[in-house]
Structure 1
Amino acid sequence: MKNVTKIVKMIAAVGLIASTAACTTVETASRALPIDAPLAGAQFSPEPIYIQPDFKVVDINVSVPKSLTVSEANTYKPNADIVWRGDSYGNRYEQVQAVLETGLAAGVQSFDGAQEVVLDVQLVQFHAQTEKVRYTFGGEHEIIFAMTVRDAQTGATVVPLHFVDATFKALGGIAAVNAEKAGVTQKVRIVERLAEVISTELQQPYTF
């Protein structure tokens, strides 16, 4: 049932970002179309053309929809989209948005390519640890977001909407306690993970 809910959230994210992007997109790379979609008068080579990215990220738009559910339950697996204990109790939407912005911004700093681009990012799931999980077996930090890469000058879609899974293994038990003592909090590890994932993601070849 939880997997079905996650799929529904992903579909909703696709619809929301796609409708927003439609207002600004001038043209779209053919990767966004079904592989067998015919285009009148167009001729395609039998093999896709792979383009090596040469990006410079000039802006990152991060959104955390209020339609995502939040849980403060101290259970092993709260049934919610957002579970976050890395900040004091407060607005979890704003807190996880700040974490995403910090991690993604750190990950794109080294990019100084010829093409200036904008990243449109929408959170799908941010499932960090509850106290109960963190001080027992650890589990995973489950983080998924939807992303589109657009040309900063024209607004044209460069890399179409797709999902990025930044899920990784969390520390648990004595390892979590020792990490906390050393200043390596959940937030520190998640920011570092997001930086690593976005850096890798933006170096992946895309197709036309």
Structure 2
Amino acid sequence: MTRAPVVLLHNGDGGVASSFEPSVAAGDLRWLRQSDVTEDDLADAKGLILPLAVDQIALMDIKPQLEALLDRGGRIAIMCHMLRPFIDGPGIFVPMEKPKRPDFNLFRLREHAIFADVPTEALESNKGVVGFYGRGHNPMPEGAEAIQVFGERQVPVDWIWERPKGGVVFNHSGNDLWVVGNQPDARKAMAPKLVAWCKGEM
């Protein structure tokens, strides 16, 4: 039996978020409890989604498998503050220093399919309160390109990196994209977009 090409590591109680259920039903996504993941689970994956609550200490134990996934041309979508170097390249999370309200204004420097049809104002606040989308950045490796930045300081909260050795990393240095922002439809659409991107369809 062919396995779904994209893996979502799940590190909590209950099932997968409802916005991912259509992708699971379509055979595009399999969600795995992180404590149960094996080397074989990642051996044939095209893509991997790492949510905010992922256990980064445990990710260090499977770092060779994560690097191998990328080396063979796979894709990883990171939705967390990187506090451990579970893949080589990105830096350790840097929080914004004494941010004011204007520092959370979100600017798009380049278009990307994951954010297609989603204006920045739909993401930067929840019911008028800022800070949910992100409060800092995972430093970009050499060759990465910023997609969206915070404020005049151009803090790169979202970036894309095509690795010289192969594979692509999409980084969002904040909350899970499928739970942020003022537009419920936009939030719901983020999950299948991430799956499609991890499959290499966008």
What's the TM-score, normalizing by structure 1? 0.26
Point out which structure has higher relative CO (alpha carbons under 8 A, 6+ apart).
1
Relative to the length of structure 2, the TM-score reads 0.27
Q: Which of 1 and 2 has greater Rg?
A: 1
